[in-house]
Structure 1
Amino acid sequence: MNASPATTQNHPGLYWHRLDDGRIQCDLCPRFCKLHEDQRGACFVRMREGDGIVLTTYGRSSGFCIDPIEKKPLNHFYPGSKVFSFGTAGCNLACKFCQNWDISKSRDMDSLMDAASPDEIVATAKHWGCHSVAFTYNDPVIFAEYAMDVADACHAHGLQTVAVTAGYITEFARRDFFSRMDAANVDLKGFTDDFYVRLCGAHLQPVLDTLVWLQHETDVWVELTTLLIPGQNDSDTELQALSKWVHDELGAEVPLHFSAFHPDFKMTDVPPTPPATLTRARRIALDAGLKHVYTGNVHDVEGDTTHCTGCGRALIVRDWYEIRSYAVDAHGACPDCGTKLAGRYGAVGAAVGDAFGARRIPVAIHRQPMGGRTTP
């Protein structure tokens, strides 16, 4: 589908400054790319144009889908609700194991097959009964200006916003970006700087800094995901260190998801993560004092289920993306002991037996004719 030229033209970037040698430095993420005229940053989508940096993917998406919120994954943010999801192209990390590499590593702008203004995204999300809009599939940090404009439109019409991100963003930019987000799932890809350098082309500390700031300085609901790769970040020692850090620095109530790797992109020679590895990781994290630890990309009802931290009752039983039973009230309280679950709850979602399945559900944008209603 085509959008108006105003929707897809290069959009002025917000985070940069001029260097003494004439180059312009991008200040959005810790890479601090220094650009000559027409050069692109490592993310590929932020480019120097004249005396500034522009975002080349504003209003351009790799596709729009309806997901259950648990696919983000967020298990404590309006469980069972529908979320309108989209991403663009490019990424500011270089993960050799990327599970969405066809989107995040795209260098072909023609792969951005759909386009929409912020108002059109909101209209479509509301048409499909979504409670929130998620910036996902690739990292929304790199299309921050577009994501923030969409988020402002969402909030003006009563929709929540979700960032699925690696958290690789500067201290300056994160204040603006996350002030527009209601929830975030942050990929904590490993717990050594060596892992980040070798397999992600990045560093661990900026991610940890973002997480601590998010948890203690904002109202954003935070959950973490770690993709476990055999032989790379799945040792007992690393999992114990990661779990202890989350417990001590973020708190026992922060949900942690351990997800299964499948061979992809530049790591097709590495075997898939055995389910036993996820079970072991979950036990290590629970033993470290974390109260909400989940497994992902495998069939594991116990690892998908949310339990009361007071009496231990299974409050939200999940099977893949189907909610089998839902016992909490609109405040997230247990009916047996009254203990309130950490998270965000309300009179949304929780459709017992409403299964999305494993695949995304693509949808078309509802266009907004001049002076008229939205149309499919």
Structure 2
Amino acid sequence: MKTSPSPTADTGSRHPARYWHALDDGRYQCDLCPRYCKLHPGQRGACFVRMREGEDMLLTTYGRSSGFCIDPIEKKPLNHFYPGSSVLSFGTAGCNLACKFCQNWDISKSRDIDTLMDAASPQEIAATAQHWGCHSVAFTYNDPVIFAEYAIDVADACHAAGLKTVAVTAGYITELARRDFFSRMDAANVDLKGFTDDFYVKLCGAHLQPVLDTLCWLRHETDVWVELTTLLIPGHNDSDEELTALSNWVRRELGADVPLHFSAFHPDFKMDDLPPTPPDTLRRARRIALDSGLQHVYTGNVHDIDGDTTRCTGCGEALIVRDWYEIRSYRLDARGACPHCGTVLAGRYGAVGAAVDKAFGARRIPVAIHRRP
């Protein structure tokens, strides 16, 4: 792995990239994700934001963001990571996958640096999260794997300020890079986009196995709290057979207590000719997953209080009742224990959950970077 010293970044400047090596034919191979892009001078990787310039490999979006918002943590979605807390969310531009159904394509497929309107140093992002009373900072909207150097520096600044960090990612990262990246993350929601390689190849321009490898490694080799999301696309990844195979794999390889979210597709990007996912499809998927032995299965992007509610795995009591992202009832103590039977729920909890602001709801609040005088 080639690395360059990491200077104090000028926000908006190009930044030395890590995770690459020179090939015998003179090209540079990017080793950040399983695409392994091989670049001549002046070329960019498939993600668009990592490029070779002369003898250097650069990240071209360090210190730049497409915007900052305060979200409820449930929007990531994370239902077992300090439920009810607020999170400062941001992304940059570009992506290392090519999903034809991308719901954030205006950001992830952007080739225009003007998309990145907000400049912010890692320390300014941490200060902004503190200023607005956020419990954590989330790298989201586009995949943070491709801006790993920036995400790592922001995460270090957040931890120094006592904040948690969250990666919302497709998990398409190499074994070489994932240790550095996820060692800075407290939680991750990983998009398991489907459960066949054919789906990944045809609709995402990627492969399934590296994602499964990342998931197994996260679950068994790290302390990162992990939840999964699968966007159900009518006629493509929503058959009973595929949902059963996916659910059985999660239970067998990751564990029955790993939360799984089934989310509704809406027509967008290159798949705007399909219908939205029917709510009944999400409920069917949830039932299949529960019948397969998974303990915490949720529905997303639809109105479904039962599919939003967290129940005790011991006695079945409703412990966190949600309506969309609004918490209607919170009945866990700081350990995450059920008040009825004492069963401790899988996840990360604490005093932040007990003091949840139930009025925060589903609001997404755009904010400006807090710059100290």
TM normalised by structure 2 equals 0.97
Secondary structure in structure 1 of the residue aligned to 2:166: strand
Cα distance in 2, alignment partners of residues 356 and 64 from structure 1? 18
> Does residue 1:164 correspond to 2:191, yes or no?
no
1:78-97 equivalence runs, <5 A: 78-97=82-101
User: Secondary structure of 1:138's match?
Assistant: coil
Name the residue aligned to 2:358: 353
Q: Which amino acid aligns with 1:185?
A: N
**Equivalent of residue 311 in structure 1, options 297, 315, 319:** 315
After superposition, where does 1:92-111 map in structure 2 within 5 Å?
Answer: 92-111=96-115
Give distance in 2, aligned partners of 1:13 and 1:167.
19
Q: How far apart, in 1, do the equivalents of 2:358 and 2:52 lie?
A: 50
Measured after TM superposition, the shift of residue 39 of structure 1 is 0.5
Structure 2 residue 339 is the aligned partner of structure 1 residue 332: no
- Give the residue type in structure 2 aligned to 1:351: V
- 2:113 corresponds to 1:148: no
2:264 and 2:300 in contact (8 A); partners too:
yes
Task: State whether residues 135 and 164 of structure 1, in contact with CA within 8 Å, keep that contact through their aligned partners in structure 2.
Answer: yes
TM-score computed with the length of structure 1 as normaliser: 0.96
The code of the aligned residue for 1:173 comes to A
RMSD: 1.1
What is the alpha-carbon distance in structure 1 between the residues aligned to residue 172 and residue 135 of structure 2? 27
- Structure-1 separation of matches of 2:208 and 2:218: 16
CA distance in 2, matches of 1:178, 1:5: 21
8 Å Cα contact 2:327-2:361 kept in structure 1:
no
Q: Aligned residue for 2:137? A: 133
Name the amino acid aligned to 2:356: A
* Distance in structure 2 (CA, Å) of the matches to 1:360 and 1:336: 34
- Shifted more, 347-356 versus 55-64: the winner is 347-356
1:364: Cα distance to partner?
Answer: 0.3
Is 2:119 the counterpart of 1:115? Answer: yes
Q: Distance in 1 between matches of 2:238 and 2:223?
A: 31
Partner of 2:87: helix, strand, or coil?
Answer: strand
Shift of 1:354: 1.6
Q: Deviations over 1:182-228 (max 9, x none)?
A: 00000000000000000000000000000000000000000000000
2:257 alignment partner AA: E
* 1:74 counterpart residue number: 78
Cα contact 2:9–2:121 (8 A) shared by 1: no
What displacement does 1:352 show?
A: 5.1
- The answer for the alignment partner of 2:5 in structure 1 is none
User: Are 1:258 and 2:276 an aligned pair?
Assistant: no
* 1:209 corresponds to which of 187, 208, 213: 213
- 1 CA distance for matches of 2:343 and 2:276? 38
Secondary structure at 1:85's aligned position in 2? strand
SS in 2 for 1:161: strand
Counterpart Cα distance in 2 of 1:5 and 1:312: 50
Q: Distance in 2 between matches of 1:353 and 1:77?
A: 16
Distance in 2 separating the partners of 1:5 and 1:306: 42
Identity %: 83
Secondary structure, counterpart of 1:7 in structure 2 = coil
Aligned partner letter, 2:367: V
State whether residues 9 and 63 of structure 2, in contact with CA within 8 Å, keep that contact through their aligned partners in structure 1: no
What does the per-residue CA deviation read over 1:298-356, in whole Å, with 9 as the maximum and x for residues that have no partner?
Answer: 00000000000000000000001110000000000000000000000001145253233
1:177 aligns with 2:177: no
Q: Which runs of 4+ in 1 moved over 2 A?
A: 349-353
Q: Which of 208, 220, 223 is the equivalent residue of 1:219?
A: 223
* Helix, strand or coil at the partner of 1:39: coil
322, 326, 330: which one aligns with 1:322: 326
SS in 2 for 1:8: coil
Report the Cα offset of residue 361 of structure 1: 1.2
CA contact under 8 A between 2:336 and 2:347: conserved in structure 1? yes
C-alpha contact (below 8 Å) 1:299/1:319 kept by paired residues = yes
Supply the distance in 2 between the matched residues of 1:112 and 1:269 (Cα, whole angstroms): 29
* Kept in 2: contact 1:14–1:145 (CA 8 A): yes
Determine the structure 2 residue equivalent to 1:270. Answer: 274
Q: CA deviation at 1:50?
A: 2.1
| CA distance, structure 2, for counterparts of residue 46 and residue 262 of structure 1 | 30
**Given that residues 334 and 340 in structure 1 are in contact (C-alpha distance below 8 angstroms), is that contact kept between their aligned partners in structure 2?**
yes
Instruction: Give the number of aligned pairs.
Output: 365
Q: Which moved more, 1:176-185 or 1:48-57?
A: 48-57
Instruction: For structure 1, list consecutive stretches of 5 or more residues without a partner in the other structure.
Output: 370-376
Counterpart-to-counterpart distance in 2, 1:314 and 1:360: 26
Aligned residue in 2 for 1:20: 24
